[in-house]
Structure 1
């Protein structure tokens, strides 16, 4: 039954980009009954472990679209062993099962130094931080927590048959603010996405949309952020 649920999830997704794509094309979200419809979203999967040594056991299907105000992401997370004890904003969600997205608004030819970190737990708890990272590594990082209620992010998550699913609507204005409100004409939005997960009877996995070749794992490598092309 679980295998059938996974197959149905895969078949239900309209577009799957199986590998990292720099300059990923995303499109305006469609609506249905006043709510976001994901029929026009770009969906990526095949998250790899951070060391770039293969695919994660429990995969992530991340669908992305946008409107005039928000970048919208839906994460469908295959998970046979959901673990997350947290229930308050900005707790250490990264110590348990979590979906993470890092976003920057910066010059197309530069490595981001300032960016936004957003994490979502399987039970709908949020973590938001503005990050300063001058070394393109997990060394010398400074972060400034953002109150979840003041962030403007719309979010929800919960268990589903094959694991858990979550949605994030992140204001473009928040991404720009975390990035230092750059004013250059060559600026683009950049991102990377991550999962932390413990498969049943397995070892903890740290997986990425764009594997950053780190071991031990480090998600804070903005040179591996990929650009978004808003169409």
Structure 2
């Protein structure tokens, strides 16, 4: 399973908040066309000995989000999402979603290529999240501990991954974004996940 279009290098850091200023950003595109989006979204990643760090920087002057409880169906409103396939086989991966009000949805997914099952009984123990917004730019941070995975990555380890955003506009139109576009509107298309390479 390959996707030659998308590869992201994940830099090893001594993590602190200021590290984000020096990291490169990848822009999300329309999930169906690969074209530009209405509200810009940038994604940055880095790692240290204990965790993967993901930051979404989202232009957003109109928020649609009423869910308050863990594992509510956040995907029905504004949300950012990370799908991680550690083994890279497309059949088992984790889904993490974060709402504008720092509500988390986390699940393990079984996908046979035709249907998928969402296991919301799984919880991402130890994950830390935060969301801040000034009414024009929203920043979503996730610290994803390596304890959630089968094996801690090393230099050169590659995971299959994708980053998504759903954003409702004032007219009620929903906009779907992806780092690696799936071309079919379905985020659960692991053959279209990109590759995250852990490096120095």
Tell me the TM-score normalized by structure 2: 0.86
Q: Distance in 2 between matches of 1:76 and 1:90?
A: 23
Q: How many residues align?
A: 192
Question: Residue 78 of structure 2 contacts residue 100 of structure 2 at CA under 8 Å; is this kept in 1?
Answer: yes
Measured after TM superposition, the shift of residue 53 of structure 1 is: 5.5
Q: Distance in 2 between matches of 1:224 and 1:115?
A: 13
Q: Which moved more, 1:20-29 or 1:57-66?
A: 20-29
Question: Residue 28 of structure 1 contacts residue 40 of structure 1 at CA under 8 Å; is this kept in 2?
Answer: no
Measured after TM superposition, the shift of residue 102 of structure 1 is: 0.2
Q: Distance in 2 between matches of 1:31 and 1:192?
A: 22
Measured after TM superposition, the shift of residue 190 of structure 1 is: 1.5
Unpaired runs of 5+ residues, structure 1, are 1-19
Q: Which moved more, 1:49-58 or 1:61-70?
A: 49-58
Q: Which has the higher contact order (CA 8 A, sep 6+)?
A: 2
- Map of 1:208 onto structure 2: 178
Ranges of 4+ aligned residues in structure 1 off by more than 6 Å? none
Let me know the Cα RMSD of the aligned residues: 2.2
1:60-91 CA distance string (max 9 Å, x none): 11111011111101111111210100111000
Say yes or no: does 1:144 pair with 2:128.
no
Q: Distance in 1 between matches of 2:25 and 2:106?
A: 23
Question: Residue 15 of structure 2 contacts residue 48 of structure 2 at CA under 8 Å; is this kept in 1?
Answer: no
Tell me the TM-score normalized by structure 1: 0.76
SS at match of 2:147: helix
Q: 1:170 to 1:31 in 2, by over 3 A?
A: closer
Measured after TM superposition, the shift of residue 23 of structure 1 is: 3.1
Q: Distance in 2 between matches of 1:218 and 1:131?
A: 14
Q: Distance in 2 between matches of 1:27 and 1:155?
A: 20
Q: Which moved more, 1:113-122 or 1:48-57?
A: 48-57
Say yes or no: does 1:197 pair with 2:197.
no
Unpaired runs of 5+ residues, structure 2, are none
SS at match of 1:223: helix
